[in-house]
Each structure stands twice: as C-alpha cells, then as structure tokens.
Amino acid sequence: MNSEVLFTEHALTMLKERKFTIEFIKDIVLNPDYKDTSNDDLWSAIKKIEHKVLRVVVKGEQKPYTVVTMYYDRRLRKTMMAKERKEDSE
C-alpha cells in the first residue's frame, strides 16, 4: 500500500464516529490551514470548518504520515474567533 497518509485503528474509529471520509482527513493533513509543531513526536494539521476548528494529530515528519486521532478543538476555536474579531475591529 503506497499512501501519503496512513491511519491508526483509533483514528479510523474516530473517523467513523465523526462521519469524516478518509479523503477529507487526508486533504487536511496535506493542506492544513495551520500546522502546530509544538510537540516533538507529533504535529497537528488544523482546519477551520465553518465555526469549528478540526485538529488532526499526526505522527511523522516525512510521508507517509500517520493520523493518530482527530477532534474539534474548542479551545483553539475560541482563540481563533477572538483573533478574527480583533482583526475585524481594526
């Protein structure tokens, strides 16, 4: 299997629970709005989806990347929304 993005069993379970497609998550990993590299072993691909922020946690610095999990990041959403409001008022 030659793929740019692989999925752990946990990630596949989360994918089904949250009703995302593999293609949708692969696109976020390969083309994120933001990339958080604050953790040594893992990084996050972040995508704003309407009024929510989806964080996809990824392992690997080179392809193939491995998706570990994904979740809506409420804390980051609040931070981003506050930043957008501030930019709009300037």
Residue ranges per domain, the chain?
5-89
Check if CATH label 3.30.2310 holds for domain 5-89: yes
Local confidence band at 75 (pLDDT 50, 70, 90 cut-offs): confident
Q: Given the structure tokens 């704003």, which residue do they identify? A: 48
Structure tokens belonging to residue 61: 């610095």
Percent of the chain with pLDDT over 90: 69
Local confidence band at 76 (pLDDT 50, 70, 90 cut-offs): confident
**35 CB contacts (<8 Å, ≥6 apart)?**
43, 44, 45, 46
Task: Tell me the mean pLDDT in the region 38-49.
Answer: 91
Record the pTM. 0.84
Calpha distance 89→59 (Å, rounded): 38
Residue scoring higher pLDDT (80 or 69):
69
**Element at 78 (helix H, strand E):** helix 74-89
Q: Considering all CA atoms of the chain, what is the largest pairwise distance in Å, rounded to the nearest integer?
A: 50
Task: Tell me the mean pLDDT in the region 79-87.
Answer: 65
